[in-house]
Amino acid sequence: MQTKRLGPQTLRLSHPPSVVSFANIGGKMEGEGPLADFFDNLSTDSFFGAKTWEQGESVMQHRALETALEKGGLTASDLDFVLAGDLLNQCIGTTFALRNFHVPFYGIYGACSTMGEGLSLASLLLDGGFAHLAAAMTSSHYCAAERQFRMPTPYGNQRTPTAQWTATAAGCCILGAQGDGPYITHVTCGKIVDMGITDVNNMGAAMAPAAYDTLRAHFQATGEKPKDYDLILTGDLGALGHEIVIDLFANDGIDMKKNYHDCGLLLYDLEGQDMHAGGSGCGCSASVLCGYLLQGMQKKRWNRILFAPTGALLSPVSSFQGQSIPGICHAVVFSNEKGDVQ
């Protein structure tokens, strides 16, 4: 067993799986944002040709997987596993997207940490020799999420300053036992962290402690520091959560300011697009990864990225019942060096 358990949550992979192909799909707002050029497919139709927003979300995941397969010269039957999930009740965005692909499927639920969880499990299954190719995928849809978690969008509900904007986007990353990179070299599995935040319009504050917990565990296990990465990215903490993570590390004497960013701050022009605290949703970090970030790594703009999406593990029912918001964060290291020696 060459894979080394570096700490209670962190594994260094002995056969780092490679990114083989990736694709992302976005909606209207994503197409008007600063990362528009990094999407494979953008639609101004929020239904994506389907009859409902929920079915539209399934179309996005269907297209994301289809596009990633095409770009990699693969067919669905080449995949040993798909690990996917989404925010909709019972993960119907995923299950209805996949029902015609006939692929071995493990459904996952990590809220907006889903892409981190899917990449982690896919990497471990590949490193363990259980698969040659495995896909991680997720999505979110602004209109479907709003009516499920908050208010149907036609109500024109006022948003608070700390509110975030659920991305209408999907991302799919196919990993392989063979490939030319980028490689996933480390996996850090998150723990649930609940600091008692109850404001469902302030997810950034609720999830930031989970991001801090996982990133800290990762640094402790690997002996690394923020400067050992070209980029450290959380998924969708937004402006406030991003600041909280910086503050929490500052208390430990660790400076995160230089290279720590958040996908929710990258996907949109916050002021120009009236996005308040930033983007959110499973599709936010997944679509930023499966376009802007992985393309940037392929072009050597960055050689080593710590990708750490966070999820808020609540439901409207738990909030109505007065419960606070548990968070979780799953992290993976992408490196252009297979023999990442850190």
Query: Minimum Å distance from CB 23 to its own copies?
Result: 20
Least Å from the CB of residue 54 to its own copies: 6
The residue within the footprint of its own copies, chosen from 75, 77, 160, 178 (CB under 8 A), is 77
Residues 173-192 that bind its own copies (CB under 8 A): 189-192
The reply to whether 130 sits near its own copies by the rule CB under 8 A is yes
Helix (H/G/I), strand (E/B), else coil: 125: helix
String of DSSP letters for 219-244: HHHHT--GGG-SEEEESS-HHHHHHH
202 neighbors 162 (Cβ within 8 angstroms): yes
Interaction of residue 90 with its own copies, rule CB under 8 A: yes
246-255 long-range contacts, Cβ below 8 Å, gap at least 24?
A: 248/208, 248/209, 248/212, 249/212, 249/215, 249/216, 252/216, 254/219, 254/225, 254/226, 255/226
Shortest Cβ 303–its own copies spacing (Å): 26
Rounded Cα gap, residues 10 and 218, in angstroms? 6
What does the block give as tokens for 77? 């039957």
Nearest residue to 24 via CA among 263, 187, 241, 189: 263
Candidate ranges 31-39, 49-57, 151-159, 160-168; the one touching its own copies (CB under 8 A): 49-57
Does 56 participate in binding its own copies (rule CB under 8 A)? Answer: no
Q: Which of 6, 11, 205, 231 binds its own copies (CB under 8 A)?
A: 11
Query: Do you find a cis peptide bond into 182, omega within 30 degrees of 0?
Result: yes
Q: Which two tokens stand for residue 286?
A: 């997944």
Compute the least distance from the CB of residue 37 to its own copies, in Å: 33
Q: Does 95 bind its own copies (CB under 8 A)?
A: yes
Nearer to its own copies, 242 or 330 (CB): 330
Does residue 75 interact with its own copies by CB under 8 A?
Answer: no
C-beta of 99 vs 227, nearer to its own copies: 99
Query: According to the binding rule CB under 8 A, does residue 198 interact with its own copies?
Result: no
**d(C-alpha 131, C-alpha 79), whole Å:** 8
3-class secondary-structure state, position 187: strand
**Contact set with its own copies (CB under 8 A):** 1, 3, 5, 8-9, 11, 51-52, 54-55, 77, 80-81, 85, 87-92, 95-96, 98-99, 101-111, 117, 120-121, 124-125, 127-130, 148, 189-194, 313-318, 321, 323, 326, 328, 330
